[in-house]
Amino acid sequence: MTARADFDVGPLSWVKGEIDHAIQRSQEALRAFATNSADAAQLKSSQSHLHQAHGALSIVGLEGITRVSEELEGLLAGIEKEASLRRSEIFRLIERALNGIRTYLDQLMAGSPNQPLRLYALYRDVVTARGGRADPTDLYYPNLTFRPPKREKLAGAFRAGDSDKYLREQRGRYQRGLLKWLKNDASGAEDMRAAIEAIEAAQGPSSQRAFWWVSLAFFDALAHKALPQDVDAKQLCNRIEQQIKRLLEGTPSVAERLMREVLYYVARAKPATARVREVQEAYHLSQTIPAPGSDGDTIEENPELKSAREHLTHAKDAWNKFASGNPPSLLAFRDSAAGLRDDSDQLGNADLAGLAGEVAEVAAWLTSNRENMSEAVALEVATALLLLENALAGLAHLSGEFAQQAQLLRSRLEDCMLGKLRRSAPEIPLLDEMSRKAQERLLMNQVVSEMRANLRTIEQVLDAFFRDQSKRDELASLDKPVHQLLGALEMLGEQRARESLAAVADEIRRFSGAADSAGPKDFERIAQILSGLGFYIESLAHGKIDFEAAMQPIAAVRKEEADAAQPVATVEAQVAEQQRETASLYEEWKTKPEDGVLRAELKKNLAALQKDAGLIADQKLEDSAGRALRALDKTSTMPLTPFLKEAIEKITAAAPSPSPEAAKLIDASAEAIDAELLGVYLEESDEVLATIREHLDTVREQHANKEALTTIRRGFHTLKGSGRMVGLMRLGEAAWAVEQTMNVWVQEERAATPALLQLIGLAHGYFSDNVKRLKVGGVSSDERSLVAAAERVRRGEATEEASHEAPGATPVPAAERAASARAAFTPATPAPASVAPAEPEEFVQLGEHRVSTTLFAIFSGEARAHVIAIREEHETLRQHGVVSDGLLRAVHTLAGTSGTVKISALSDLGYALEKALQKLATSELSEDEQSLVGDAIDTIEAMVASVVELRVPRAVPELVARLERIGEQADVSQESTTPEEREPAPLPSPTRQTQSGAAEELAETEAGDRSLDDLDLDVTLERRQRRLDDDIDPELLQIFIDEGQELVPAVGAAMRDWRDNRDNPTLGQGLQRVLHTLKGSARMAGAMALGELTHHMETRVENAMSVKVLPAGLFEELETSWDRMGVLFEQLQKPRRPEESLSMAVASKPADVAIETSEATPEAAPQAAAKAIPLAERELQPKALLRVRADIVDRLVNEAGEVAIARSRIEGEMRALKAAMQELTDNVARLRAQLREIEIQAESQMQSRLELAKESMREFDPLEFDRFTRFQEVTRLMAE
């Protein structure tokens, strides 16, 4: 209803980014339309984005700014209808107004008061462009919840009939005074004031007399000529007379617009009387009027200043996080500080630019070595940022002291970089205060962060309990976070919040009892309390603390006064009701045109509507009601005359109603979509999906990149809004589900997990597929599988299924098929006649195998995404003859994920194609080879299309055999071009089945030799067998070996440090960085096996850091992988010939296995040996075996024991040294205090003796006290 001057920026901070983004998109679309006015779709897009921003502004309670955005929407609608408005000055005006809104919101976030009147100049220009008349009270929204003070003596009740007589007398008195005042008789204002005073004295509850009490202050100002000269109060006096008439008619409700207008005049009046001052203080009116010179176009500022403030905001946020223990935020701080320095150089203030440059240098200094960070550095930088914030907020009015302050801080920052940390306080009191504020801000941010984490833990456990009350035992784990949160609130002195949380804690303890059962009402009440506490804790970080506003959804109405419990009716509400009644009466009269009673009721309703519209200053509604009355008088039984119909429609259109687009979507079916809006949606979706794909790649490399995650979330937010606007409700719901999941990661600042990355890929594939469908005239597909996957990831339930690397989309039939593949490929199982809904099923049936619904949804979307990638890379292969890494990676991943869901035909074909492409990568493809690869890709695409329709594809052994032969032919051709003579390649195996059987037999035999039953070991062996072959670059190999000699030991050292200090996440991040560097270097040199092994180690480290408790066997697995890393690195330094490696791989098989095999099938022995060759090639190297002599092990054990003893001795000495240093510190502190006391005593003794000497010995020479100056100097030197 109203907006407070002291605005709570908490809710605004949550949607500020979305509002800025929507305004920016609206501006871009408007610029495109201004360039090409024939493109109406751009204008609709601009309207749509502005409407999104308008809705967000309405939600956060910025009524004044909402009025500006509402008028801008009307102006855009006018541009669509009237070509005369399509002028460059109109476009510039809208651009200025949108910039003004963004700047106003930025100033609100920076702490400026909420005074919408600062936008009045822009608002007036927009309204004037539409042909209307602006009024300052359109943007004036004071807090109307205040009430006048209680009267000492309550008004007596009137007898029956006396009240009307009394009010009639006062109305006559008011009218006579109004006539005198209009004739410039000053006594008229006093007569009106007396009438209003009499009416106010007759009112009962304070809610009813609030308007008359405020009006009495207005007439006080009018009688004492305290109003500004530019104020014309004639219309206001007339509307007050109409309000008296309504009161006389028995309607005490007051128009909110009239109340705001009276308060506006009182706010601008001089405090000439005690009544005026009392009203101004009661309603805090001084905070609602902008200072002179702060309104109008001054709200617009130069882009450099705006950019500097944005960079400063980001720098402060990043520095707070870094100082609170988040090392990755240092890079963001460095970038923001550099941007702030560049912007400050353009602002024309050398002191400001110098200080910003010094902050940027400190950021670079810390980035080079994070060990330089200390508490003193954190405090100095925070103080500098605070000074920069104050300077940018008042850049036009900087005092001369700023130069001194900036210079002092620059010198202190320079001392920090030189290692000269100052321990004395700044010499300027303002900087001392700023340092204290900076320290408080750092502490508050850290405390709020901890409180938010504890509150999230409480909410998650309670949410799980509310969904399943069998999880009652988990409630006991909430004692610790609840206790910590209660302690934090107690420390901050937030007693009311602590009491609310304590009540929740009591409820939790009650729920923990086995006998107590919780109902939905209990759940809702606790959820609302925790939600309100979350808002309140968020507001603590901004310094805007309003407990009542945060807890408003659950706060009971306070009954401080009897009338406060009842809502005060307003004329606006009655006008809206009259509009609905008018529409209803007109529709009923159309069916009964002969009914005179209905006609009379309609006429009476229109007359009341016209009168009340004038009271709320709605000129358009008043004119429309008048035209309808005149048209009604000219007709008797003709409701459908054009004039009357048009007039009635204008009246009813003034009531809130859906937009034309919304009305069309309401009436249309799910597939009846506006063609123009659909075109805009498809074009925008392509851009949004490209942005999501780009930032998804970034997040896969940098899991903690908050900006990229925020951009992805914003992309799905855009898809949600656009989809719902166009009528694509399925797509809108899917985007909403993903956005909700992304909100959890963004709000809690989590690092991206594999499950989240897979969900994003799943959603990207789903939307990409649907966009293609819509472009060819299809319909959107089912979104339920994607929504279910998003819900599981949000609740942390996507564990086993999410471990497979298969991000993608929901299963839908493929839109296209390759013609050649259709002819050659026939599914092994027919498609089911109907597919049951996916929601009630936990599994889907694929032939003889059952696959979970979530896993199948992930696989199908991932498979389609990989097919698209394969198609794109195949085009590159066909045009340029280059087998790209992207093609190999897509084929390899598709083959692996197909094996996961037991689709062996697709998996075998994928691996065969991968091996063939690896063989062909070093030679130019012939036409036959190009054709064969194309046939394989077409078949893979058809197989994927069949699988997503729940049909199992048939195996294609002929195509697999052709791919194997093409690979062998490439080997033969490569050998023929080599001058060295080599042995002929082994003949191809007759069938794929024999080869697979031999490979399985060898795998089983090797597993039996190891005597291990762990399934993960077999998966690891399979993964190693399917690794890409090394493609060593001789020129880069030596460089990599030199670098690896440092990195490989560094991996071991970092791993040991982290194992010894598992609670320190910084050590884990350091290990991750070393692994990432080693992985990149290995892949660049072509050591693909070592690079892949390092990649999997890095992935395990990242997954471990994303959970609170490290897995039990993490370090054992990492040590095993590190041992293998050492073997692979050693083999890179001393490479064996292929024949030697192959012979060692075959020789490593147990002899008894070879004997048993040869005895069982003597004729198959050569074939078995031939089958072992591909396995050895995939293995690449013999198994890593470590042999150590027993005497060396004994010596290592002895030395380790000696090291442990020495370490414990050193630790003991360090503890003793630390205790001694602490004692020394305490002694120094006591000495300083005593020296300070000596100094004070010396000063006081000198002053007292000097005064005593002056009184007793008037001829005493004060210069004799010069001997005391040395004493004073010594004491001060000792204190320093």
**Integer Cα distance of 1280 and 1278 in angstroms:** 5
- Report the alpha-carbon distance of residue 435 to residue 379 in Å, rounded: 7
- What SS3 state is found at 846? strand
Measure the CA–CA gap between 320 and 306, rounded to whole angstroms.
21
In 10 A of CB 730, how many CB atoms? 19
CB 1054 within 8 A of CB 1076: no
SS3 (DSSP) at 845: strand
Answer with the residue of higher pLDDT: 495 or 984: 495
pLDDT, tens digit, 9 for 90 and up, residues 774-815: 877 777 788 888 888 888 888 776 433 433 333 333 333 333
Report d(CA 943, CA 953) in Å as an integer: 6
Statement: residue 858 has pLDDT above 70? yes
605-614, 923-932, 1009-1018, 1131-1140: the lowest-pLDDT one: 1009-1018
558: pLDDT confidence band, cut at 50, 70 and 90?
Answer: very low
Secondary structure letter of residue 841 according to DSSP: -
- Both tokens of 483, joined, read 């206790």
With cut-offs at 50, 70 and 90, classify the pLDDT of residue 218. Answer: very high
Structure tokens at 1145: 């791989």
Does residue 328 surpass a pLDDT of 70? Answer: yes
Phi, psi of 830 (to 5 degrees): -70, 155
Q: What is 564-590 written as a DSSP string?
A: GGSPPPBHHHHHHHHHHHHHHHHHHHH
Give the pLDDT confidence score for residue 610 in this predicted structure: 67
- Residue 387 CA to residue 882 CA, distance in Å, equals 57
Q: What pLDDT does residue 1100 have?
A: 85
pLDDT score recorded for residue 1188: 66
Cα separation, 110 vs 104, whole angstroms? 10
CA–CA separation, 1146 and 692 (whole Å): 48
Q: For 612-617, what is the mean pLDDT?
A: 61
Note the residue count of the chain.
1280
Answer for the pair 808, 861: CB distance below 8 angstroms, yes or no: yes
Lowest mean pLDDT among 4-13, 204-213, 1014-1023, 1204-1213: 1014-1023
| pLDDT in the model for residue 1170 | 40
Give the separation between CA 933 and CA 926, rounded to whole angstroms: 11
Question: Sign of the C-alpha dihedral, residues 864, 867, 873, 876?
Answer: negative
Inform me whether the pLDDT recorded for 895 exceeds 90: no
Q: Compute φ and ψ for 205, nearest 5 degrees.
A: -60, 155
Euclidean distance between CA atoms 76 and 1078, whole angstroms: 56
Q: Which string of b and e fits 942-958 if b means at least 16 CB within 10 Å?
A: bbbbbbbbbbbbebbee
10 Å CB burial of residue 705 (0-12, 13-18, 19+) is buried
Tokens found for residue 816? 């296209």
Cβ contacts of residue 517 below 8 Å, gap of 6+? 469
Identify the bridge partners of residue 852 per DSSP, sorted by sequence position.
843
> DSSP 3-state assignment of 953?
strand
More confident of the two residues 532 and 1004: 532
Q: What residues contact residue 659 under an 8 Å CB cut-off, 6+ apart?
A: 51
Task: Please state, for a pLDDT cut of 90, what percent of the chain lies above it.
Answer: 6
Q: What angle do CA 195, 200, 204 make, to 5 degrees?
A: 145
> What pLDDT shows up at residue 97?
92
pLDDT tens digits for 1147-1184?
A: 444 434 333 333 434 444 444 444 444 444 444 444 44
Tokens of 769: 């597929």
Beta strand 849-852 with 843-846 is antiparallel
Separation of alpha carbons 794 and 814, rounded Å: 28
pLDDT of residue 940: 92
Amino acid at 1240: I
Taking 90 as the threshold, does the pLDDT of residue 72 lie above it? yes
Q: pLDDT-based confidence at 824, cuts 50/70/90?
A: very low
- Helix or strand or coil: residue 849? strand
256 with 628: CB under 8 angstroms? no
- 1050-1076 in b/e form (b: 16+ CB < 10 A) is bbbebbeebbeeeeeeebbbbbbebbb
Q: Tokens 């909402």 correspond to what residue? A: 66
Question: Quick check: 1142 and 1173 in contact, CB under 8 A?
Answer: yes
Query: pLDDT tens for residues 1096-1117?
Result: 888 888 888 877 778 877 888 8
- Contact (CB, 8 A) for 914 and 940: no
- Contact (CB, 8 A) for 738 and 790: yes
pTM metric for this prediction? 0.46
Taking every pair of C-alpha atoms in the chain, what is the biggest distance, in angstroms?
A: 134
Residue range 487-522, pLDDT digits in tens: 888 887 888 888 888 888 888 888 877 656 667 777
pLDDT at residue 1120 tops 90:
no
Task: Express each pLDDT in 1028-1080 by its tens digit.
Answer: 567 787 777 887 888 888 889 889 888 888 888 888 888 888 888 888 888 88
Of 390-404, 441-455, 1166-1180, the range with the lowest mean pLDDT is 1166-1180
- The residue whose two tokens read 């002895």 is 1198
pLDDT band, residue 128 (cuts 50/70/90): very high
DSSP code for 483:
H
Query: Are 796 and 804 spatial neighbours (Cβ–Cβ below 8 Å)?
Result: no
Closest CA to 525 of 542, 500, 544, 550: 500
Burial grade of 1128 (CB within 10 A; 0-12, 13-18, 19 or more) = buried
Residue whose tokens read 């407990």: 547
Query: Which one is predicted more confidently, 687 or 428?
Result: 687
> Is residue 968 predicted with pLDDT exceeding 80?
no
- Position 419 pLDDT exceeds 90: no
Torsions phi, psi for 672 (to 5 deg): -85, 95
d(CA 253, CA 1223): 75
Percent of the chain with pLDDT over 70: 71
CA 378 to CA 319: how far, in whole Å?
Answer: 8
Please give the average per-residue pLDDT across 602-611, as a whole number. Answer: 71
Mean pLDDT of 437-464: 77
460-467: long-range pairs with CB below 8 Å, 24+: 462/508, 462/526, 462/527, 462/530, 464/795, 465/511, 465/518, 466/518, 466/523, 466/527
Pull the structure tokens for residue 425: 């306080």
Mean pLDDT of the chain: 74
Residues paired with residue 1228 on neighbouring β-strands, in sequence order: none
Beta bridge partners of 953: 827
DSSP annotation of 396 reads G
Rounded Cα distance between 432 and 854, Å, is 59
**DSSP line for 43-78:** HHHHHHHHHHHHHHHHHTT-HHHHHHHHHHHHHHHH
Task: Identify the bridge partners of residue 849 per DSSP, sorted by sequence position.
Answer: 846
pLDDT in tens, 473-487: 788 888 888 888 888
Per mean pLDDT, which range of 533-542, 609-618, 893-902 is the poorest?
609-618
Residues 405/428, Cβ–Cβ less than 8 Å: yes
What gap in Å lies between CA 85 and CA 502, rounded to an integer? 60
Please state the three-class secondary structure of 1083-1147 as a single string. HHHCCHHHHHHHHHHHHHHHHHHCCCCCCCCHHHHHHHHHHHHHHHHHHHHCCCCHHHHHHHHHH
Instruction: Look up residue 714 and give its two tokens.
Output: 């914003």
Under 8 Å between Cβ of 852 and 797: no
Residue 1027 DSSP symbol: S
Alpha helices in 654-728 (DSSP H): 660-667, 675-701, 706-726
